[in-house]
Amino acid sequence: AQSVAQPEDQVNVAEGNPLTVKCTYSVSGNPYLFWYVQYPNRGLQFLLKYITGDNLVKGSYGFEAEFNKSQTSFHLKKPSALVSDSALYFCAVRLNRDDKIIFGKGTRLHILP
Amino acid sequence: SQTIHQWPATLVQPVGSPLSLECTVEGTSNPNLYWYRQAAGRGLQLLFYSVGIGQISSEVPQNLSASRPQDRQFILSSKKLLLSDSGFYLCAWSVQGGTDTQYFGPGTRLTVL
Query: What's the CATH code of the domain at A69?
Result: 2.60.40.10
In this predicted structure, what is the pLDDT of residue A98?
A: 65
In this predicted structure, what is the pLDDT of residue A15?
A: 97
| Distances B60 to A80, B36, B52, B57, B78 between C-alpha atoms, Å | 40, 11, 19, 9, 14
Confidence band of A29 (pLDDT split at 50, 70, 90): confident
In this predicted structure, what is the pLDDT of residue B2?
A: 87
Percent of chain A at pLDDT exceeding 90: 78
Residues of A in contact with B97 (CB under 8 A): 99
DSSP of A32-100 = EEEEEEE-TTS-EEEEEEE-SS-SEEE-GGG-EEEEETTTTEEEEEESS--GGG-EEEEEEEEETT-S-
In this predicted structure, what is the pLDDT of residue B68?
A: 96
Residues of A in contact with B42 (CB under 8 A): 88, 105-106
What is the DSSP pairing of strand A64-68 with strand A56-58? antiparallel
> What are the φ/ψ torsions at residue B22 (nearest 5 degrees)?
-120, 145
Q: Looking at the partner chain, which of A46, A88, A99 has a beta carbon nearest the beta carbon of B103? A: A46
In this predicted structure, what is the pLDDT of residue A27?
A: 84
Tens-digit pLDDT profile for residues A43-68? 999 999 998 889 999 999 999 999 99
A105: pLDDT strictly greater than 70? yes
Q: Please give the tally of structural domains in chain A.
A: 1
Please, what is the end-to-end C-alpha distance for chain B in angstroms? Answer: 38
In this predicted structure, what is the pLDDT of residue A31?
A: 85
B107 to chain A: nearest residue by CA?
A43
| Distances B108 to A41, B76, B82 between C-alpha atoms, Å | 9, 11, 16
Q: Which residues of chain B have a Cβ shorter than 8 Å from any chain A Cβ? A: 6, 32, 41-44, 46, 49, 51, 88, 90, 92, 94, 96-97, 99, 101-107, 109
In this predicted structure, what is the pLDDT of residue B34?
A: 94
* pLDDT, averaged in runs of 10, over chain B (113 residues): 94 97 95 91 87 90 90 96 94 81 94 96
In this predicted structure, what is the pLDDT of residue A99?
A: 66
User: A35 in contact with B at a CB cutoff of 8 Å?
Assistant: no
The amino acid present at A14, given as its one-letter code, is A
| Distances B48 to B33, B41, B81 between C-alpha atoms, Å | 8, 19, 17
In this predicted structure, what is the pLDDT of residue B62?
A: 79
The whole domain housing A8 covers 3-112
Helix (H, G, I), strand (E, B) or coil at A14: strand
Confidence band of A76 (pLDDT split at 50, 70, 90): very high
Q: Which CATH number fits domain B3-112: 1.10.540.10, 2.60.40.10, 1.10.1740.10, 2.40.10.220?
A: 2.60.40.10
In this predicted structure, what is the pLDDT of residue B60?
A: 81
